[in-house]
Amino acid sequence: MPYVYDDTNIFARILRGEIPNKTVLETEHTLAFADIAPKAPVHVLVIPKGPYVTYDHFCAEASAAEIVDFARTVSEVVKLSGAEAHSGGKGFRAITNAGEHGVQEVPHFHMHILAGRPIGRMID
Ligand code: 5GP
């Protein structure tokens, strides 16, 4: 079944400038901004600017340039938060929720970057 993107979702409205956001980083294809209801001292959402519903949709249909830009922006957000696990930081968690069972609230693909406190285990 094809992915159906609903461009009335809140992140599409943020991308169109209809709703304000606290931007952390913006690149050609990607926007990173503070979550409105942070679950940790660092809680940043990283989204592609293109109309992708979920991670698998993004990986299947985005261009290589969009995917690399997204991945590098995630890395940059981690660096800015001081949470780089490979170079002395205390680490972070990157999460993406997809669809009903993944309890995705906003149907525009996004990665949560959480850091600044122990996040706790969800999967053992
Ligand atoms: P999901 O459950 O879809 O993975 O997460 C959606 C996230 O978007 C939640 O953490 C929620 O707090 C955040 N969110 C919802 N509406 C807004 C908004 O208008 N602005 C910002 N910055 N974040 C939002």
Query: Is 15 domain-assigned?
Result: yes
Give me the tens of pLDDT residue by residue for the chain, a chain 124 residues long.
788 999 999 999 999 999 999 999 999 999 999 999 999 999 999 999 999 999 999 999 999 999 999 999 999 999 999 999 999 899 999 999 999 999 999 999 999 999 999 998 877 6
Coil, strand, or helix at residue 116? Answer: coil
Q: How far is the CA of 21 from the centre of ligand 1 (A)?
A: 11
User: For the whole model, what pTM was predicted?
Assistant: 0.97
Atom of ligand 1 nearest to the CA of 104: 3
Q: Is residue 86 part of a domain?
A: yes
What's the alpha-carbon Rg for the chain, to the nearest Å?
14
- Cα–ligand 1 centroid distance for 35 (angstroms): 6
Closest C-alpha residue for ligand 1 atom 18: 36
- Reply yes or no on whether 110 is catalytic: yes
Query: What is the domain-level CATH number for residue 19?
Result: 3.30.428.10
In the sheet that 23-26 helps form, which strands lie side by side, from edge to edge? Answer: 23-26, 30-34, 42-48, 111-115, 92-95
Cα(112) to centroid(ligand 1), Å = 9
Residue 122 lies in a domain: no
Q: CA-to-CA distance for 55 and 43, rounded, in angstroms?
A: 19
